[in-house]
Amino acid sequence: MSEAPLIGPSETDASITATVSHLALRKHAGIGWFAGVVFTFSLVLLLFYGIAYLFIRGVGIWGVNIPVAWGFAITNFVWWIGIGHAGTLISAILLLLHQKWRNSINRFAEAMTIFAVMCAGMMPLLHLGRPWMFYYIFPYPDTMNMWPQFRSPLVWDFFAVSTYLTVSIIFWYIGMIPDLATLRDRAPKGISKYVYGVMAFGWRGDAEHWERYEKTYLVLAGLATPLVVSVHSVVSFDFAVAQLPGWHSTIFPPYFVAGAIFSGFAMVLTIAIPLRAVFGLQALVTERHLENCAKLMLTTGLIVDYGYLNEFFLAWYGNNLYEKFHEFATATGAYWFAFWIVILCNVGVTQLLWFKPMRIKPLPLFIISILVNVGMWTERFVIVVTSLSKDWLPSSWGMFFPTVWDWVIFIGSLGLFTFLYFVFLRLFPIVPMAETRKLVHGESE
């Protein structure tokens, strides 16, 4: 087959093992890594500061108001969850589809998922008026004889996101056990060796274990696949179930899922491209990986664009006064700039991916992926805010303006994400060695 190879020709078991485990086991991670940790950790501190002030004063420090009662927090939530989708998609769906190219990138994609979902899960909690009462959402035998209100999409959210986080972690960890064993066996005597030893559960690469390992992994993949689709569908219900013009739309679930994968792969590239450059992983994360991600972005991007088109079409075709007005206000109203950023990034920029050079050249691809991330965040913003700012009664229309605290939380969450990522890069096998060894030997599932 004429396709570019998935792995450098000169790679062997030993070389893969050496390259990857070196990243985790080396004495000094280099000044770049250190600087990164310091910078991102300072952002984490900023986040904590923001959260502390938020809890002391209340959500009023944000720009939210009546009618726009949801602002950045929910925007971030939807966006982060979306980011979280690529990881599971790569590791689960592509596994089921026997996409071998996934093997070398799924590990850090899954890590990305977990951290993104953490950032996401934080948001709904912070945006509560009384965050210390969050446990009212849990079904537990309380003193009030009350239950959560199971018809509310927010409760569905709670179940979906927590399930998603749990399953992602399980999936990630099980996949990592053999590699942790490798690290255990390569680590110099000392505390780290024992830590890896415990984490590896005493894995010894027994052929029997391998068989059951692969089987479990496959079934888990089978479970994660519908899950990943369900999660963002449920998130989209937050809007689709409400009856606001611009929210109440049956196309939301597929359109959100596509958007999620779209932004997810954008984020994968945003991370992978610098990663392979900095850690010299070009042999493991090859141009073909980049191109495949790019192709997926293009596909999902087109689905998203269809979603936009569809909204306007239905508003016109359904000839509903409120829908029509909503679409009009979205495009030309107070938030026109946001809307056109979305169009520019998610519709315009995406089309560049039709051209091969754009798909394989790291730099342009990197820029495109950044733009798509921006575009998708803005899209969430448009969905959340513009619909709320002008709904049914003109008398109650209002505007949302973010305050500094909105930005602190948003930027802080970015900081948290990258910080966790830096830690992950330092301590874990960022490329699944066992899986790549399979590639060396041309083994197929």
Partner 1 sequence: MERYRRGELYGIAAEFETVEDLRAAAIRLFDARYRKVHFYTPYPVKGLAGMFRGMNDWVRYLLVSPLIFIGGFVGAATGIAMQEYANLIDFPINIGGRPLNSWPAFIPITFELTILFASFGGVLAFLVLNRLPQFYHPIFNARDFERATQDRYFLCIEVEDPKFDWQKTRALLEATKAVLVEEVPW
Partner 2 sequence: MCNAQIDVAQLFSRPGSININILLAIFLIGGPVLTLLLLWVVYNSPWRTLQGKPIPQPVPFSHEHHVAGLGIDCRYCHTSVETSSFAGIPPVHTCMSCHSQVWRNATVLAPVRESYISGIPLHWTRVTDLPQFVFFNHSAHVNHGVGCSTCHGRIDRMQMTSKAVYMQMRWCTNCHGDPARFLRPPDQVMNMAWIPPPNQHAAGQKLIGDYHIDTTHLMDCVTCHR
Partner 3 sequence: MSSMKRYDFDSIRERLRGTQGEELWRSLDELGDTEEFREWLMHEFPAGADVWLEGLSRRGFLKFAAASMALAGLTGCANQPFEPIVPYIDQPEGRPSGEPSWFATALPRRGFGTGVLVKSFEGRPVKIEGNPDHPASLGATDAIIQADLLGLYDPDRSQVVRKGTSIGTWDDFSREFVPVMERQRLAGGGGVRLLTQTVTSPTLRAQIESLLRIFPGARWHRYEPVNRDNVYAGTRLLFGRPLEPRYHFDRADVVVGLDSNFMTDDPGAVRYAREFSDRRRVDDPETSSMNRFYSIHSNLTVTGSMADHALPRKPSLIAVYARALAQHIAGVGGGIELARDDAHWIDVAARDLMAHRGRALIIAGEGQPPPVHALAHAMTAALGGIGSTVTYSRPVTDPESNVDSIRELAHDLDGGGVEVLVILGGNPVYDAPADLEFARRLAKVPMSVHWSLDEDETASKCRWHVPASHPLESWSDLRAWDGTTSIVQPLIAPLYDTRSAHELIGTITGSPMHGHDIIKGFWRTFGPVRALLPPSPKAGGAPLAPNPAAEGAFASWWRDTLARGVVAGSTEPDVAVTSDPAAIARLLGEPWPAIDESAIDVAFEPDPSILDGRYANNGWLQEVPKPITKLSWNNAALIGPDLAQRMNLANEQVLEIAFRGRTIEAPAWIVPGHADRAVTLHLGFGRKAPAQTAEGVGFDAYPIRFSDSMTFTSGADVRATERRRDLVSVQHHNTLAGRDHVRAATLDQYRREPDFVREPEKEPKHDETMYPPYVYPRYAWGMSIDLNSCIGCNACVMACVAENNVPIVGREQVERGREMHWLRIDRYWAGPLENPSTFHQPMLCMHCEDAPCEVVCPVGATVHSSEGLNEMIYNRCIGTRYCSNNCPYKVRRFNFLRYSTRGDEVMELMYNPDVTVRMRGVMEKCSYCVQRIERARIKADNAERPIADGEIVTACQQACPAQAIVFGNANDPQSKVKKLKDQKRDYGVLTELNTRPRTTYLAKLRNPNPELEKG
At closest approach, how far in Å is the CB of 27 from partner 1? Answer: 20
Which residues, at least 6 apart from 5, have a Cβ–Cβ distance to it below 8 Å? Answer: 286, 288
Contacts with partner 2, 207-236, as mask; x by CB under 8 A: ------------------------------
At closest approach, how far in Å is the CB of 408 from partner 3? Answer: 10
The number of residues in the chain equals 445
Give the count of residues interacting with partner 1 (CB under 8 A). Answer: 62
Q: Binds 64, which of partner 3, partner 2, partner 1, none (CB < 5 to 8 A, cut-off by type)?
A: partner 3
Of 4, 1, 92, whose CA–CA distance to 359 is shortest?
4
Residue 437 near partner 2 by CB under 8 A: no
Contacts with partner 1, 15-44, as mask; x by CB under 8 A: --x---------------------------
Closer residue to partner 2 in complex, CB, 26/215: 26
Contacts with partner 1, 167-196, as mask; x by CB under 8 A: x--xx--x---x--xx-xxx----------
Q: Binds 401, which of partner 2, partner 3, partner 1, none (CB < 5 to 8 A, cut-off by type)?
A: partner 3
Of 427, 420, 428, 430, whose CA–CA distance to 37 is shortest?
420
Rg of the chain over all Cα atoms, to the nearest angstrom: 23
Cα–Cα distance, 327 to 183 (Å, whole number):
55
Give the count of residues interacting with partner 2 (CB under 8 A). Answer: 16
List the one residue from 22, 26, 57, 212 that touches partner 1 (CB under 8 A): 212
Side chain identity at 248, as an amino acid letter?
Answer: H
Cα–Cα distance, 343 to 350 (Å, whole number):
10
Q: Is 38 exposed, middle or buried (0-12, 13-18, 19+ CB in 10 A)?
A: exposed
Residue 12 near partner 1 by CB under 8 A: yes
List the one residue from 69, 99, 128, 163 that touches partner 1 (CB under 8 A): 163
Residue 437 near partner 1 by CB under 8 A: yes
At closest approach, how far in Å is the CB of 28 from partner 2? Answer: 16
Q: Binds 404, which of partner 2, partner 3, partner 1, none (CB < 5 to 8 A, cut-off by type)?
A: partner 3
Of 335, 337, 345, whose CA–CA distance to 373 is shortest?
345
Q: What is the DSSP string of 215-274?
A: HHHHHHHHHHHHHHHHHHHHHHHHHHTS--TTT--TTHHHHHHHHHHHHHHHHHHHHHHH
Q: Considering only residues 121-150, where is the footprint of partner 2 by CB under 8 A? A: 142-146
